[in-house]
Structure formats: C-alpha cells, structure tokens
Structure 1
C-alpha cells in the first residue's frame, strides 16, 4: 500500500489551525534516488494572526528542533512557549526528527527487512545524525517555501533546544542560505570532534550537583547505600522486562539537570523515589511494583533507542566515541559502588548525569537487541563532518541563544542553580566561534528553561534578536 503524504487539518478551540504534514525524503541524501523514508511535522497557525489562506501564506515560518537525540517533539498546546512564538506573528512547524515520533520511527520492530545484522543496523543508523536531519529540513523548507517569488521569503527561522541547538549549528554550517534567524536554548554545541572534553566538564558539574543533593537530603546517603546493596544482591526486574541494577539506579541523576518545579522534577523527584524505595525495603524487604514503575517512568530510553545508541556518536567527526562517558567517570571513585561500599556508611555514592554506559544495553529490555550495534558504533571513527568552522566564522545569520550557567561562574548572583547537560564553558567557546551570535546568559533556569518560564525567556530572546540594549 502506498504511503499517503496528504496533509490533514483540524483546529484547536483556542484559535490554532493545525496541519499534519508528511514529507518523503531520501534515507541517504547523497543518493536521492535510493531508499526513501517519511518525515512528519506539525504546522500550527495562529488564527488571530491569519484568518484567510492569503494571510496564512504571509506568516513567516519558525521551525522547532527538539532536544534528544532520538526524541519526538511533544504535542504542543496553544499555551506555553508555542503561544509566545505565535503571538510574535509566526506560524510554527514542529518536526519529529527522522527516526522519532511519526518520522519513520526507529526500533527493532520497525527495521527495514534488509537491515537485520548488527553491521547493517549500524550502517543504517549513521543516517540519523544532525547532518541528515538538517538535509531533511532543507527538503521541507523548499517544499513549503520554494514557490515564493522573493528570496527573502524562501528563508525561515529555526529554534533548537539542546540537541536541537546542535542541529541548528549544523544547519548554519552547511545551509545558511535557508535561514533568516536562529534561536538556540539549552546550550550551544561543542565544535570538538569527540565527546571526551564535554564529559570531563559534565562529570565535574554532576559531582557538584550530587553535593547539593546530599546536602539537602543528608539521610539519603544511607538510604541510597541500602538500596544499592539490595540491588547488588537481588535480581530486580522492572515491569517491561528490564533490570534495575546499581548502574541503572544511578542513572536517576539525569534529573539533576532539570528544574524542581511542578510537576516534580530535579533533585526533589530523585529524593522522593529514594525515600519511597527506602520505605519499601523497611516494610517489605523488596521494592514494590509502584516504585519500579516510577523508576521506569523516569527513564524513557526503551522507547527512544536512538538516544542511547547515537548519544556519543552525535559529537564525533573523524573520531570514535569509544564509550567516552564510561572512560571519564572511572577517574572519579565517588561514582563506583564497588569503591564506596568499602568506605564508612557516611560516604555517599554519586548519581550519574546525562551519560550512556555499555551496561545499559543489558539493563534496558529494548536496548538489548542493539548491544552489538552500540559496540560497533562506539569503535567507529569514520563519522563525517557536522560543522564548518570557516562558514561559522563568517556567519551573517543572526543567532540568539539562551545559555544556562554553572553557579560558580556567577558568584555575585543569588538563587544559584546548575545546568548539567551542556557545559557552559564549551557553549562559550562555540559562541565565540560563530559570528553574529548574541547570548542571554542566566543561572536562574535549568536545562529545560524554555518550558519553565517561556514568557520571560522568549521576551529576552526576541529583545536580543533586535540587538537592543538595556
């Protein structure tokens, strides 16, 4: 049966017209006549700004690139930061990057029939990095805007959050002619050719965040030690067939980079899970189904395997990642349960941050089929270029970024917080290498700041876009 790429239209009651759009693109853009995949994007048009087809055609496009890698763009409401963009006269396009959401989603069950062996899957996945994603964007831009008479009207604006910001820098490197303006939130990508430096800095920030956690919840030191002792001596199965091991428990530290607001996130959510697990062990000598369900609910990697498989390769240009996070973290004994359990029971064992480890391909049920694939890609050094340093140095497209800063950098400011996912130091190096970049630097937001206080953040970004002062 032929795939239908016919758009589908409906309306939100709050005055938003929604057009569901599918596009056919090559799997390999260097082989345009070869295998095709389907990519999805949701077009949202504010009716307050355009009531007729002619008015819609005049609204400029802003393309949103989701963080990840390997995560689809959530369905947007007519509130939040989407509303802030619409209020400024844009129609928006919310892309599911290839391999995610409705865009030929990647999983073991959805592999093409001719892609089954580990090496075949590894070769297939090499087409799912930022370089291919931005080429998809160019196909979509030309489809939607290529008919415009004026060259300026064929350009669009883009906004990238976290990994979406990495994609935005790749876009600037190779297709600046398609861009009117660029917004980046959640940190600028390092332009290095391998991830080691990034993980060195990230690990130090995760250590600092662990200290904040245990200072706030000192009784969790013994609780966590008791939990890890239980996990080490018992085979604990999660509801979907995964295993809750010591390493997987430590992965809860991924939340340390998120803001502690409702719904509960950040170090406070980790504490609630620790508190409940400790209570389970006191009452029942085992972890309850509800607790296991909570842990599983914090870790969405089973349904988004690209996140784990390509997390380190997304940095690489001519170098192999070689399990960078695993190599770096071994330098710090605070993360090793085998070390900490030999020390006094007042010594904490640290949670890890946004890091991928080889053991995850045993512990996560839906990563197990990709264990061999992950090893192949971890040793692969044939990754192509993601950035053009020369082009970025002469960039003329206005780039406006929101960058979260480590509290140490802002010792004079109050209400200090920490952003763990994209190291501030590397973001600053990148900003200095991209001409025409201006930043809003803050330590009042965490990594997901675009969702925490969208009104203020978008106001500041658009003020900077106009290159205003004061």
Structure 2
C-alpha cells in the first residue's frame, strides 16, 4: 500500500465550464464537457519519462441528473521522454488498479516504462482513492447517518469508475484521430475492464487483463469456498518452506489468545487478526515477509518474554485498510439487484471452515510439538468482526452492515454484449492465483467472445509488478504474434 503527501482539492460543487485548457505538445483539449479542471497542470520529467497530471470534475452520480454534486478524479499521463515530440500521434492505454480502494501505481513502475514507449499511458486514481476525492473516515464524518454514508459508498464501484473513464476519454482524446483507447487492468482492474467491455465496447481498441477475470458464473459462496481452500494450500506451502514457523506461529497465537496485546495504532492484536497475514502469501516475497515477522515477534526483557515493539509496529501498519476496500470488497461480486453479500466470508469461516481456521488454546495446549497440527492463515477476506478489531474501521461498522445487506446494486456486466464481443482481449491467468480463482476465471472467459487466455504458473498474482514481460506478451497475443487458446 502506498501513501502520498500531495493532495488535490476536493469538490462538492459544480464547476464552471473550462474554455481554454492546454496540454504540453498538444492542441487544445475538448472544452465542451467542462470536466477538465483549470490549470496549472503539473508536468515533470524523471527517470526517462515525461508526465502530466490532470484533475477532472466528474458527477458523483452518473445516472442521476438531479444530483449536482461532483468529485475530483485524478489521472497522470506518462510518455517516454524520447517519444514526447510525437506523443499526440501515439495511442492511449489507461490502467485500472487492483483493489478496490487503492490508488494508481507509481509512474516509474517497470511495466509503465515499457508501455510508455508505445502509448500515452494514463494512470488513474480511481474515484475515492489517491489524489482523487478520497474516501477516508475523516471525510465520511460529514454525513449525518450511516445510511447516508452507505448511499455515498454505492457510487464507488466499477460501473461508476468506468463511466468516469469514458468522460475522461471523451475529453483527452477529443482532438486525436483515433478516439478509442486500450485498457490494462490488474486484479480488480480486470473486473473494471469487464464492466467497460459490457458498457462501452465501441470506445475500445483492445483490452489486457492480468489476474483479474471476474467470477461471473459462480456464486459468492463458491468464490470464497475456493479462496479458503487456496489459502489453506498456500499456508501448507509456507510451513514447508519454513518448518520452524509451525511452532513459532502456535506460540504467537497462544500468546495473543491469553494476553491483551494493544497495538500502537490503538487496536488490539487478536489471534484472528494475526491470521490475516496470510493475505501476503499470494504475492512474490509475501511468505518471506511473514517469516521475518514471526522471527522478531518476541524479545526477552529481564528474563521475561514479551512481544517486540518492531513486531507490533509492523502489525499496526496492517490497520490502515482503505475504507473502500473494507466496506465494498464483497459487494464487487454483487452483479445487479437481488444480490446481497451478507458477510459471506464470515459465514463460511464460522461454518464449514471453522474446524480449519478457528484457533483454540485448549486444542493446541498438548500439541505444540506436533507438526501435523498447524495454524492456518486466512487470505483476502473481509469479516464483520474487523469493524471491531480494527480501530480505524470502527466508525464504519453500521455503514458496512447496511451495505452487506443491500440488494439494490446496479448491474456490472452484460452477458449478451460480452458473448458478442468484438474487442481484442488477452488475459494472463495465474494457475495457482490465491486471490482470483483460475477455475472461476476460465468459466467467465468462456462467455466472452474472442478472449485469449494465457494460463501460466510462472508468476504469482503480483506478476505484472514483478515482470515487465507480461504486458509485452499480452500485446503480442493481441497482435497475433503468439498463439494461445481462445475462450
């Protein structure tokens, strides 16, 4: 997770139309929409890249013309320095970040450097994140009731993100000979791309997905059932790599179950909260990170063991969960009216998976040296109890419960449109992805005409970040330079 010390002015009022926006090395942008904020537009050169920042005033509610409230959406254009002279003739590629609730990547990420030699790369801070009008516990305090907070959160799913992007495309590409652009999405960003393909396929040249085909054909229970089994497998792999951690983890869990351990952030470190470190297992380096934490969990002070300040500080950093990620995570699977998330991960954990994940001091008291009895970690799951255990999330408890029961979500995908898709699409599917099930992804892909699947066990879910070659290969697949199966 990254943070920024910069900020953009948030907007809750309708802005005046803009009559003369200008951009470096470009003719004037489209002015009729009035979405682009007045300058100055910041631009800088660094690491062989030319960047340009934009702020757009966009409707909070795209489908309700009676609502005049706007929000700011930030986007950064990146072009290789050697291409800035002819950047206006280059095609555009917009990137959708994983999440939900996380800002766009750093402008000098490895894959960005590669793409910026061929494209105007647009790094979007999706609404509610980063330099866009961000959703924070502090900003949500302006609402009088949890219901008002919930209604606000409902405007921050993929359908709204895609509509934001369309207005931005319409503005930035107004004077380009080619009015279409290509899409690249990582994880949840692939969910957003699938929504884009459903809503505005005529605006797209091509789409590239990495670890992010949404499970359109499976229920939320099926999705999380697969997720739990996957994280159990990853936990076993973790202990195979670090066998001494079997005893270390039991020791940590026993201490947390028998002591009240307060974090520097004000929260309490509970056993179930510690188990959530399994979220790290699905990305490169994640297991090593958890192992390092386990090694430094305790210190000896005058012959008495206690949890180290370094360990507690690191665990406290886990408290900083973006509100959108916490509150809307299960709702991203609710495709239309009639679907409610109902804290599905919590129900499965306290039901059929309880024997595997629930830690009992009594159960482990006599088995601390038994390597066959292990403590399983949990993965990418949001639980109702997190609104109690995480100090930063407590103000959102009632709001989160309202959204968990909500059954009025708008549609995200149009299966009829996807079945007739004409946009070239290539997707990297990671064989043992802990976050996005390969099996569920393959089912969805079968319903998207022309989607080409590259199923690989060479990379983890963080593949796009780890290897520049993933985007290069996807580009070659769409260009017909490499043959892969078509769904």
Question: How many pairs were matched up?
Answer: 441
1:106 pairs with 2:106: no
Deviation string, structure 1 residues 294-342 (Cα, Å, up to 9, x no partner): 2233x2x525111111000111023111111112233121210038536
Residue 469 of structure 1 deviates from its aligned partner by 3.4
1:467: how far off? 2.1
Secondary structure of 1:50's match? helix
Alignment of 1:166-245 (within 5 A): 166-192=191-217, 194-245=219-270
Q: Is the 8 A contact 2:208 2:425 kept in 1?
A: yes
Cα deviations across residues 353-402 of structure 1 (Å, max 9, x unaligned)?
01111111112121010011111111112111110000000000011111
Alignment of 1:134-173 (within 5 A): 134-148=162-176, 150=177, 153-173=178-198
What CA distance in whole angstroms lies between the structure 2 residues aligned with 1:303 and 1:129? 17
Instruction: Measure how far apart 1:449 and its partner are.
Output: 0.2
Residue among 315, 323, 334 paired with 2:356? 334
Give the match for residue 15 of structure 1.
Answer: 48
Q: In angstroms, what is the RMSD of aligned CA positions?
A: 2.0
> Which residue number corresponds to residue 25 of structure 2?
none
Q: Distance in 2 between matches of 1:124 and 1:193?
A: 28
Question: Which residue of structure 2 lines up, in the alignment, with residue 83 of structure 1?
Answer: 113
Specify the alignment match of 1:415 in structure 2: none
Q: Which consecutive unaligned segments of at least 5 residues does structure 2 have?
A: 1-8, 12-36
1:250-293 CA-partner distances (Å, limit 9, x unpaired): 01000010112xxxxx1111111112114569964221221111
Shift of 1:186: 1.6
For 2:183 and 2:262, the matched residues in 1 are separated by: 42
**1:91-102 alignment runs, 5 A limit:** 91-102=120-131
Q: Is 1:363 the equivalent of 2:389?
A: yes
Q: CA deviation at 1:29?
A: 0.2
Distance 1:223 1:267, change over 3 A: same
Residue 155 to residue 343, structure 1, CA distance change in 2 (3 Å): farther
**2:84 alignment partner, SS class:** coil
**What residue number does 1:431 align with?**
445
Structure 1 pair 139–466 and aligned structure 2 pair: CA distance change class (3 A) = same
Q: 1:411 is matched with which residue?
A: none
Map of 1:409 onto structure 2:
none
Match of 2:307 among 268, 287, 296: 287
In the alignment, the residues of structure 2 paired with residue 354 and residue 165 of structure 1 have an alpha-carbon distance, to the nearest angstrom, of 17
Q: Please say if residues 185 and 212 of structure 2, whose CA atoms lie closer than 8 Å, have aligned partners that are also in contact.
A: no
Q: 1:320 aligns with which of 335, 340, 348?
A: 340
3-state SS of 1:196 partner: helix
Question: How far apart, in 2, do the equivalents of 1:138 and 1:285 lie?
Answer: 57
Distance 1:340 1:393, change over 3 A: farther
CA–CA separation in structure 2 for the residues paired with 1:258 and 1:155: 33
- The alignment's TM-score, normalised by the length of structure 1, stands at 0.89
Deviation digits for residues 105-154 of structure 1 (CA, Å, limit 9, x no counterpart): 001211373x2311110111000100111000011001111344x5xx11
Offset from partner CA, 1:65-92 (integer Å, 9 cap, x none):
0000101113221x510011112x1011
Measure the CA separation in 1 of the matches of 2:386 and 2:343: 12
Match status 1:272 vs 2:292:
yes
Segment drifting more, 337-346 vs 133-142 = 337-346
Helix, strand or coil for the counterpart of 2:111? helix
2:82 maps to 48
Q: Relative to structure 1, is the Cα distance of residues 302 and 434 closer, same or farther in structure 2, using a 3 angstrom cutoff?
A: same
Equivalent position of 1:133 in the other structure: 161
Check whether the contact 2:340–2:407 (CA below 8 A) recurs between aligned residues: yes
In structure 2, what is the Cα distance between the partners aligned to 1:2 and 1:325? 34
Change (3 A) 1:275 1:103: same
- In the alignment, does 2:333 pair up with 1:305? no
Q: Contact between 1:190 and 1:430, CA under 8 Å: does it hold in 2?
A: yes
Which stretches of structure 1, 4 residues or more, deviate above 6 A after TM superposition? none
